[in-house]
Amino acid sequence: MRGRKSGDSIRKILVGVDGSDRSIAALKWAAEFAAQQGAHIDVLTAWRTPFPTIELIAIGLNFDLSEINDRPAQIAQYRLDKSIHAAFGDPHPANVDFAISEGYAGLLLVEQSADADLLVLGNRGHSPMIETLLGSVSTHCVAHAHCPVVIVKE
């Protein structure tokens, strides 16, 4: 926890969402906490291209690669829209900003946590099998974030 003193106020809360019920619960928790603190919320959804283009070319697949590479971004947008609507309804509060970024969620959240006073996550987004293969975003963030981390259970 670099550069933060225990008496500092919470001005900016970063929330990672993936459309899961647990991440929506984390967003709702962050919204309630932000209202008490008068804080701003940044919501981040991350996505990754499932197959790097070079690998598809190497195995000789011949089709429009933009369709494959656009799909994860569209899914991420859907998950973000679902999370926003589930947590806030319409319209969302003025103190909330949303972003979608390409990359591994854990790394992006740790990077963004340098500008946050608090990082809020759900306790599990993926299935246990996927987390075994890819690793847990929340575990990565707890170990590497630049600010305190709250893990919200559904």
Which of residues 5 and 70 earns the better pLDDT score? 70
CA atoms of 39 and 134, how far apart (whole Å): 32
Does the pLDDT of residue 132 top 70, yes or no? no
In the chain, pLDDT over 70 holds for what percent of residues? 73
- Multiple choice CATH, 15-123, 3.40.50.2300, 2.40.33.20, 3.60.130.10, 3.40.50.620: 3.40.50.620
Q: Is the dihedral of CA 79, 100, 22, 37 positive or negative?
A: negative
Residue pair 27/17 in contact by the 8 Å Cβ criterion: yes
CA atoms of 101 and 83, how far apart (whole Å): 16
Does the pLDDT of residue 108 top 80, yes or no? yes
pLDDT for residue 123: 83
Does the pLDDT of residue 128 top 90, yes or no? no
What is the band of 26 on the pLDDT scale with cuts at 50, 70, 90?
A: very high
Strands 40-47 and 12-16: parallel
The pair of structure tokens assigned to 135 is 């690793």
Per-domain residue ranges for the chain? 15-123
* Cα-based angle 46, 51, 53 (whole degrees, multiple of 5): 110
Which tens digit of pLDDT belongs to each residue from 35-78?
999 999 999 999 887 655 554 455 455 545 555 556 788 888 88
Residue pair 109/81 in contact by the 8 Å Cβ criterion: no
Residue pair 10/30 in contact by the 8 Å Cβ criterion: no
pLDDT for residue 9: 87
